[in-house]
Amino acid sequence: MSTIALARVALRRLVRGRTWWIALAIAILPIPFAYGLRGHSALLTNGLNIALLLLAVLPPWLVGASVGEELDHRSATYLWSRPLARWKVVAAKLLALAPIVVVLVGASWIAIAETATSRFPPRNTIEAMLAAALAVSMISAGIASLAPRQGMALSIVYVMLDLMLGELPASLHALSVTFHARTLAGRSHYHPDYLDWVLLAAIPIAWLAFGLLRLRRREA
Amino acid sequence: MSDDGVIVAERLSKWYGHVLGVSDVSWRMRGGIVGLLGPNGAGKSTLIKMMAGIARPSRGQLAVFGGAPFDDPSVRARIGYAPEHDKLWDELTALELVAALAELAGVAHGKSRAAAETALDRMGLADARHRRVRGFSKGMRQRVKLATAIAHDPDLLLLDEPLTGIDPVARVDIIERVRALAAAGKSIVASSHVLYEIEALTSEIVVIYRGQVLAEGNVYEIRKLIDRHPHVIRVECDRPRAIAEALAGAEHVVRIAFERGAVLIETRDPDRCYDQLASAVLDRAIAVQALTSPDNNLGAVFDYLTRGGA
């Protein structure tokens, strides 16, 4: 019940502030670039790469910043003095904001693909993008729980590194969520299998677990 | 540890890295209103944060209603906390804010709005309940904080500097409302660095300085304690040594010291000292530029009590 109450507060604060409009603008931003891709080769792959860049901005902006602000901001004293399990604060933020990230990333990807190829994108690419959006939202929440003050900035850096890691031919790319998203979308040199789904879930869960563990002993 | 009391602290200490917040505090609160008095940085907020369960003791034990507030949510459910700062969720209306925090404190969703309306009404904010907190004055923000603290009907209220920064009219009003809460059976701990604010709230005072409890008890006892503290008079004049000679033999004079162009006289009988000073100045035709009493600063009293003068 308290998770729902906190999620409601997070949503109200989002829609009454500027954050929401900026997020919307960020989601629309890649569409003109997709238009510029028309007439070039590998449209879907290039379009997907543009959409993946959204992951470096939208989840940190919506989830990382919100979790970090709540924990770093002195309003946390109100939360910690309540009979409230601390993981619920992060869970509530994810409950309220991750669906918005997922919808924005998904809608943006469909718009990018439609603009670049004049066709609705394949289902597996949409599924991969939605899963990646959720995964990066969880990672951002975990990072912001570990380092609230730098939550958004560190999340952006993390996803940029993740994108680079995903391009490496070595097996290190297994640690990259964007690599698994690209593989599941059929846009990498590897065949998608269940392990991609497992790792796409396991990496964010690990970050979230680290963050929540740290949060348990955090004082205001 | 005996849990006979609303709050029981035994040898309680709190460090922030190498900085000592609270040091070896043993204290017991049985109910009513207790005022925590101490200058800024004395450790009042740290002590209240530990009682509210948002900071963990580094050493010693703290029991609120017999449990550890940091680890036990059922203890925190019985506490209402109004922090010193007024950072709130400014995008929400007063009603939304108080209702949300009441719900987080365990009030059912269906009842949180009514609880918030009652709390805002008790704090004199019924007319402003649909206004966003962002536009509230300092006094209104203090009232909203108090409303968030009482909305879930807690047994213990922890109010950190509840009267800071508000105008005199609002001050009187809030004091009355806090006293009404105590009359309704709530236990209340309120902190302040201003003695007269605390005196207006309660006669039970705990004096905190440099993280330690220096004295506790009835305000009159503490006043007596403070009155036993030698009074310092600083006389800026053209011949400080002449003043010192005139007063050196007086039995009420504890100490005489010199500063550049001034003499400091420490006395246990300020009235007699002022009389003798006047005589000395007139008899010896001393030109006095200024006469001040640094002891009017509460910090000086705390310093004296810390040195063991009490």
B103-141, pLDDT tens digit by residue?
A: 999 999 999 999 999 999 988 899 999 999 999 988 889
Give the tens place of pLDDT for each residue, A196-213.
999 999 999 999 999 999
With an 8 Å Cβ cutoff, are A77 and B85 in contact? Answer: yes
Q: What pLDDT is attached to residue B309?
A: 47
With an 8 Å Cβ cutoff, are A2 and B104 in contact? Answer: yes
Query: B204-209 and B212-218: which strand pairing?
Result: antiparallel
Give the tens place of pLDDT for each residue, A20-43.
999 999 999 999 888 887 777 777
Q: Do B120 and B129 contact (CB within 8 A), yes or no?
A: yes
Amino acid at A43: L
Closest approach of A8 to chain B, Cα-based (Å): 9
Lowest mean pLDDT among A16-20, A156-160, B206-210, B213-217: B213-217
- Is pLDDT above 60 for B297? no
B244: its two tokens = 């010192």
Give the relative orientation of helices A87-117 and A194-216 as an angle to the nearest 10 degrees: 140
B234-250 average pLDDT score: 89
Q: How far is the C-alpha of A95 from the C-alpha of A90, rounded, in Å?
A: 8
Q: How far is the C-alpha of B86 from the C-alpha of A75, rounded, in Å?
A: 8
Q: How far is the C-alpha of A50 from the C-alpha of A167, rounded, in Å?
A: 14
Q: At a CB cut-off of 8 Å and minimum separation 6, what does A161 contact?
A: none
With an 8 Å Cβ cutoff, are A83 and B73 in contact? Answer: yes
Select the residue of B52, B56, B89 nearest A81 (Cβ to Cβ): B52
Query: 10 Å Cβ neighbour count for A17?
Result: 12
Whether residue B96 lies within 8 A of chain A, CB to CB, comes out as yes
Closest approach of A212 to chain B, Cα-based (Å): 16
Whether residue B183 lies within 8 A of chain A, CB to CB, comes out as no
pLDDT, averaged across chain B:
86
- Is pLDDT above 50 for B310? no
Q: What is the pTM of this model?
A: 0.80
Q: Do A59 and A101 contact (CB within 8 A), yes or no?
A: yes
The rounded Cα B66 to chain-centroid distance in angstroms is 24
Complex ipTM: 0.85
Whether residue B88 lies within 8 A of chain A, CB to CB, comes out as yes
B269: its two tokens = 């009988």
A66-87 average pLDDT score: 87
With an 8 Å Cβ cutoff, are B76 and A77 in contact? Answer: no
Lowest mean pLDDT among A11-15, B129-133, B296-300: B296-300
Interface probe, candidates A71, A75, A82, chain B, greatest B C-beta count within 10 A: A82
Select the residue of A84, A217, A220 nearest B49 (Cβ to Cβ): A220
Q: At a CB cut-off of 8 Å and minimum separation 6, what does B183 contact?
A: none
Q: How far is the C-alpha of B80 from the C-alpha of B181, rounded, in Å?
A: 12
**C-alpha pair distances (Å), B228 with each of B207, B265, B305:** 15, 15, 10
**C-alpha pair distances (Å), A34 with each of A31, A126, A181, B128:** 5, 16, 19, 49
Res. B195 pLDDT band, cuts 50 70 90? confident
**C-alpha pair distances (Å), A54 with each of A22, A31, A128:** 13, 11, 14
Whether residue A1 lies within 8 A of chain B, CB to CB, comes out as yes
